Amino acid sequence: MPTPDEASTSTTKTFRDLGLIEPLLQALDQINFKTPTESNNKPFPTLSRAVISSVSQKRGQEKLLHSLYPSYKNYGRNQKDYLLASSHPHVMDEADRLLDMDFGADIDQILKAIPKERTTYLFSATMTTKVAKLQRASLSSPVRVEVSSKYQTVSTLLQYYLFVPLIQKDAHLICLANELASNSIIVFTRTVHDAQRLSIILRTLGFPAVPLHGQLSQSQRLGALNKFKTGGRKVLVATDIASRGLDIPSVDVVINFDIPTHSKDYIHRVGRTARAGRAGKSITIVTQYDVELLQRIEKVIGKKLELFPTSKEEVMLLKERVDEAGRLAVNELKEEAKANGGKKRKRYGGEARDDKDRDDDVVEAGMPRTKRSKGHR
């Protein structure tokens, strides 16, 4: 947020020239902002008098939001020094993820701190029961605006599945990476461990890959994302931290290494490609244990996925090298864990959290919850 003095140094345009509505122009005048800065003139999201409650820091997003009053930019846990008393509109972006990620207590605290007389906006690509509950509990006379009541994928997206034995998943992934080497690819995994492991395997075999997950620090996540966006790395191996909201202009292919257990998560993942009218391709690796999940996804999106053609001979030729790279990756991760004293970072997106999320997904999918030993963390 620029200061009034900084704002006055720019004479290229007025705020009215930027197309702001009259209430915003009046609010700017009240806080003595006369002219926009150079950054205000750029095509950022519309200025708004808002508090932005977003999961973007936890998910490594790069949403740049300019506001007239104090705002939450990349909201996350343990961030302080936000002034809420004058914040009337309240915007919750990715509301379903905010609630799924145990931000409930934080949201309650925010709602108590901001004025009761306010306008609240909830934005979500999917309407979950938690969002509906929050809508009923926190809003007075809510108005629901729905772009589409049906989960769907765009017509420019070619969707495939690849049926493989579980023990050959790694080899088939490398075969796909080899065939699609000229494309920018996001590989989605269910756990942090697999995101790390597969990125090492890919790099060992000569594919420029970088991991993105919640155990990385914010600077590491932004660094990984920037390498992928600028083409320095052609493959991004990510957990569902990358399935929404990231500003990646062009992704050619999405590969679901692990099929998502929620159909809505499938839609979010494949939505990383074929954006803004561009063509794209998604390939979901399906094992003998995933057939029911594939059928559920096809039922939700209203179409059958096509079988992606592969050469079994090529896969078998690669398997020995891939298995060796896999052993090296496991050893590297063990050495890294040993160097860190075997301590796991207690933050969202860690392997322990991923395991919990997996159990929650399994229960929702109607499968028995995995039993754990008392020593599991």
pLDDT in tens, 45-83: 443 333 344 444 433 333 333 333 334 434 444 444 455
**Cross-strand partners of 256:** 188, 284
Q: What is the pLDDT of residue 37?
A: 73
In the predicted model, is pLDDT for residue 311 greater than 90?
yes
Domain boundary among 78, 111, 138: 138
Compute the mean pLDDT over every residue in the chain, rounded to the nearest whole number.
76
Q: How many separate domains does the chain show?
A: 2
Percent of the chain at pLDDT > 90 equals: 45
Q: At 256, phi and psi to the nearest 5?
A: -90, 95
Higher pLDDT, 268 or 244: 268
In a domain, 319, yes or no: yes
Does 189 lie in the same domain as 62? no
In Å, what is the CA distance from 91 to each residue of 51, 62, 67?
Answer: 6, 17, 12
What's the average model confidence in pLDDT over 136-161? 80
Determine which of 55-64, 100-109, 337-346 has the lowest per-residue pLDDT on average: 55-64
Does 130 lie in the same domain as 93? yes
In the predicted model, is pLDDT for residue 245 greater than 90?
no
Backbone region of residue 140 per phi and psi (left: phi > 0; alpha: psi in -120 to 50; beta: other values): beta
In a domain, 370, yes or no: no
Does 267 lie in the same domain as 125? no
In the predicted model, is pLDDT for residue 204 greater than 50?
yes
What's the average model confidence in pLDDT over 177-202? 97
Residue 242: CATH number of its domain? 3.40.50.300
Does 314 lie in the same domain as 179? yes
Higher pLDDT, 104 or 154: 154
Higher pLDDT, 274 or 119: 274
In a domain, 26, yes or no: yes
In a domain, 114, yes or no: yes
In a domain, 29, yes or no: yes
Q: What is the pLDDT of residue 240?
A: 92
**Structure tokens that stand for 67 in this block:** 């506001």
In the predicted model, is pLDDT for residue 372 greater than 70?
no
The gap from C-alpha 12 to its chain's centroid, in whole angstroms, comes to 36
**Structure tokens that stand for 348 in this block:** 């969202």
Does 283 lie in the same domain as 165? yes
Which of 1-5, 48-52, 163-167, 357-361 is the most confident on average? 163-167
What's the average model confidence in pLDDT over 37-49? 50
**Cross-strand partners of 341:** none
Does 205 lie in the same domain as 350? yes
Q: What is the pLDDT of residue 193?
A: 96
- Give the CB-side neighbour count of residue 19, counting CA atoms within 13 A: 6
Q: What is the pLDDT of residue 355?
A: 39
Which of 7-21, 85-99, 146-160, 293-307 is the most confident on average? 293-307
Q: What is the pLDDT of residue 319?
A: 96
Higher pLDDT, 300 or 8: 300
Nearest alpha-carbon partner for 45 in 60, 24, 23, 22: 24
Q: 134: pLDDT confidence band, cut at 50, 70 and 90?
A: low
Does 165 lie in the same domain as 107? no
Higher pLDDT, 69 or 118: 118
Q: Taking a C-beta distance cutoff of 8 angstroms, is the pair 307, 162 a contact?
A: yes
Does 94 lie in the same domain as 194? no
In a domain, 150, yes or no: no
In a domain, 372, yes or no: no
Domain boundary among 82, 107, 138: 138
Higher pLDDT, 366 or 219: 219
In a domain, 346, yes or no: yes
What's the average model confidence in pLDDT over 177-197? 97
Does 116 lie in the same domain as 242? no
Q: 238: pLDDT confidence band, cut at 50, 70 and 90?
A: very high
What's the average model confidence in pLDDT over 82-99? 66
Higher pLDDT, 139 or 231: 231
Percent of the chain at pLDDT > 70 equals: 68
Does 191 lie in the same domain as 277? yes
In the predicted model, is pLDDT for residue 277 greater than 90?
no
In the predicted model, is pLDDT for residue 241 greater than 90?
no
> Which domain range does residue 241 map to?
157-361
Q: At 201, phi and psi to the nearest 5?
A: -60, -45
Does 201 lie in the same domain as 108? no
Does 166 lie in the same domain as 290? yes
Q: At 219, phi and psi to the nearest 5?
A: -65, -35
Domain boundary among 74, 105, 138: 138
**Torsion of Cα atoms, 44 then 45 then 49 then 55, to 10°:** -110
Rounded (5°) CA angle 105-90-108: 15
In the predicted model, is pLDDT for residue 252 greater than 60?
yes
